[in-house]
Amino acid sequence: MEAFFNRIGSMGGGLTVLGIIGTRFVFVVDGGERAVVFNIFSGVQPKIYGEGMHFKWPMIMQPKYFEVRSMYRTINSSTGTRDLQRVDLTLRVLYRPQEEKLPEILNNLGQNYDEKIIPSIGNEVLKSIIANYDAGQLLTMREKVS
């Protein structure tokens, strides 16, 4: 009986070691995400990985994950109107990356592209639109300005 339990224990230990080693060779992309692989020898790979389990070489291939669902960012801004009145506005921007551009985004901007791009573009567009209206028009023509 003792030999039976020793055999089961060694099989369990072997399966555990095999499972730990095996998980180093795969990566999982969750729903609403895409992955781009960075290879330490050749750089960012052009292939985009969708949802599911994918093969990788440990310590050579590093998956970088991107959220491709619509996300929002809130931008607070103080700007001037056409009649030189100061207004404080909060802008909510909905965005998501183009999936086919993910390798280029990773290569040029990094994974935190939204922190670099959205505030500057949002402020610029907001100020250019608000400068076309005076303070009274912002209140009366709210739907058009939005």
Q: Which residue has the tokens 């310590």?
A: 59
pLDDT at residue 54 in the model? 93
Q: So where are the chain's domains?
A: 2-67, 71-145
Q: What Rg, from alpha-carbon coordinates, does the chain have? A: 26
SS3 for 79?
A: strand
* Cβ pair 82, 125 in contact under 8 A: no
Q: Are strands 71-80 and 52-55 parallel, antiparallel or unpaired?
A: unpaired
User: 146, 91 in Cβ contact below 8 A?
Assistant: no
For 14-42, what is each residue's pLDDT tens digit?
Answer: 777 777 777 788 999 999 999 999 999 99
Q: What is the pTM of this model?
A: 0.74
